[in-house]
Structure 1
Amino acid sequence: MSTSVGTTRLVCFDMAGTTVADDGLVEQAFTRALDEAGATITDHDAALRYVWATMGESKITVFRHLTRDDEAAAQRLNDAFERAYELLVDSGLCAPIDGAEQLLTKLRAAGVRTALTTGFSRATADRILTALGWRDLADLTLVPAEAGRGRPYPDLVLTALLRLGIDDVRQVATVGDTASDVLAGRRAGAAIVAGVLTGAHDAAALRGAGATHVLNSVNDLETLLLPTDIPQE
């Protein structure tokens, strides 16, 4: 399957692991949150395996599963996770994936709309965007609370389509580093559902979830989305 700037009008990008280098920050924050859980979660190894398997999903949803739908405990863990992650971001450990910022800039210059989506809360997402100087990089940023449900549901992609005035899901491309990202793109009906190898899941997991393309990094999207005959700045 191929597409070009003539047929793709919106690209929905995941953040951590896709456009933002993770370098274990999500896992570190989850570990710190689990350390605060005490008796709420006794098998930390099993919990971390579940966290790794569900990377890309809404974080509060993950904690609800781990606490067996104890909402108060899930909210406490989610708050602890976000505090830990924000401290890591504030420590200067947050960095862009090579080429991600340049690609988003080129897409917007070529008339393609862009959205940055994440399973984090709005406060954490804004912390990352501010740290990177990305508050105005994309046309839209979205978190699960603003779309209805997080990944693997299609809500983030479809909300971006609606808010940015895209006419057809076949004019949408998505890119992410997890099986949940891929499932969300497939369920939304996107024409290109790319998986990248810079984050949580490997090529087998991405292909198993239905990725149309598996790329080394988000930077490789340029050859799919920006034809060589389009002037690039």
Structure 2
Amino acid sequence: MTPVKLVVLDMAGTTVGDGGLVERAFGRAAEHLGVEPGSADFGAKLRYVRDTMGESKISVFRVLFGTEERARRANAAFEEAYAELVDGGLVAPLPGARQAVEEMREGGRTVVLTTGFARVTQDAILDALGWQGLADLTLCPADAGGRGRPYPDMVLTAFLRTGAVDDVRDVVVAGDTAYDMLSGRRAGAGIVAGVLTGAHDRAVLTENGATHVLGSVAELPGLLEGGGA
């Protein structure tokens, strides 16, 4: 087996714990567009947000709010609310995540952090954690042509920009959602690892293409070393 030299990791739920900030920020965004908290409409929209964890947020809002103008208003309100919550110290690295990234890089692997958030929010999270420079590259949907997960675009952009491997089968993708799994499989990654620290359980991850399911990203370096990858 050719050693894996490129590792593409999700952020929220995989390497970063946000304590439900996505739902809190969505609540503020929905209220900004006139959706009454506690209403049936609010509940239905919140369920959709939960079901589509991992997808680009602007794509979610396009479905929920119908028009591009309303979707962009919702997205702007969401990003502002999330950034405020991040600035309030409500994000933290998941146990062992930083060490896992450092270990993989020290072992000669290229590590890329990806997100479904906009660049401004991704940078706010990285700044809050002191993670600027932790990975070799960070990507948001806009960096990959605008399409987030479940499209394979961010994984393929990592493949193209880093030049770390010659074959997509030598890429590993790890994340906590069904959309992370779909994105990795559609990109042709040889290892698509689900982690149980975020939105979706073992059954959902497996149903959507996980080749491995781990308790957390802290187990990933051991999987790669143990499997000869």
Asked if residue 214 in structure 1 is aligned to residue 210 in structure 2, the reply is no
Partners of 1:108 and 1:77 in 2: CA distance: 37
* One-letter code aligned to 1:21: G
Q: Could you say which residue in structure 2 is the equivalent of 1:44?
A: 42
* One-letter code aligned to 1:96: P
**Aligned-residue identity in percent:** 61
* 1:226 Cα deviation from its structure 2 partner: 2.9
Which is further off, 29-38 or 41-50? 41-50
Q: Could you say which residue in structure 2 is the equivalent of 1:103?
A: 100
Partners of 1:223 and 1:22 in 2: CA distance: 25
Are 2:35 and 2:41, in contact at CA under 8 Å, matched by a contact in 1? no
What TM-score comes out, normalization by structure 2 length? 0.94
Structure 2 counterpart of 1:54, from 52, 55, 63: 52
Asked if residue 12 in structure 1 is aligned to residue 8 in structure 2, the reply is yes
Asked if residue 187 in structure 1 is aligned to residue 186 in structure 2, the reply is yes
Partners of 1:155 and 1:110 in 2: CA distance: 26
Cα pair distance change 1:42/1:95, threshold 3 Å: same
Asked if residue 28 in structure 1 is aligned to residue 47 in structure 2, the reply is no
Partners of 1:176 and 1:38 in 2: CA distance: 33
Partners of 2:180 and 2:227 in 1: CA distance: 28
Segments of structure 2 that go 5 or more residues without pairing to the other structure are none
Per-residue CA deviations over 1:107-132 (Å, capped at 9, x if unaligned) read 11111000000000000000000111
Partners of 1:226 and 1:163 in 2: CA distance: 25
* One-letter code aligned to 1:152: P
Structure 2 counterpart of 1:136, from 127, 133, 136: 133
Per-residue CA deviations over 1:14-35 (Å, capped at 9, x if unaligned) read 0000000121111111111111
Structure 1 counterpart of 2:160, from 136, 141, 162: 162
Q: Could you say which residue in structure 1 is the equivalent of 2:65?
A: 67
Structure 2 counterpart of 1:91, from 88, 91, 111: 88
Q: Could you say which residue in structure 1 is the equivalent of 2:112?
A: 115
SS at match of 2:189: coil
Are 2:5 and 2:171, in contact at CA under 8 Å, matched by a contact in 1? yes
* 1:176 Cα deviation from its structure 2 partner: 0.4
Asked if residue 145 in structure 1 is aligned to residue 142 in structure 2, the reply is yes
Instruction: Count residues in correspondence.
Output: 224
* 1:228 Cα deviation from its structure 2 partner: 10
Partners of 2:28 and 2:167 in 1: CA distance: 42
Segments of structure 1 that go 5 or more residues without pairing to the other structure are none
What TM-score comes out, normalization by structure 1 length? 0.92
Are 1:107 and 1:226, in contact at CA under 8 Å, matched by a contact in 2? no
Per-residue CA deviations over 1:53-105 (Å, capped at 9, x if unaligned) read 1000000000000012x111101100111111111100011100111111111
* 1:224 Cα deviation from its structure 2 partner: 1.0
Cα pair distance change 1:85/1:156, threshold 3 Å: same
Are 1:96 and 1:132, in contact at CA under 8 Å, matched by a contact in 2? yes
Q: Could you say which residue in structure 2 is the equivalent of 1:77?
A: 74
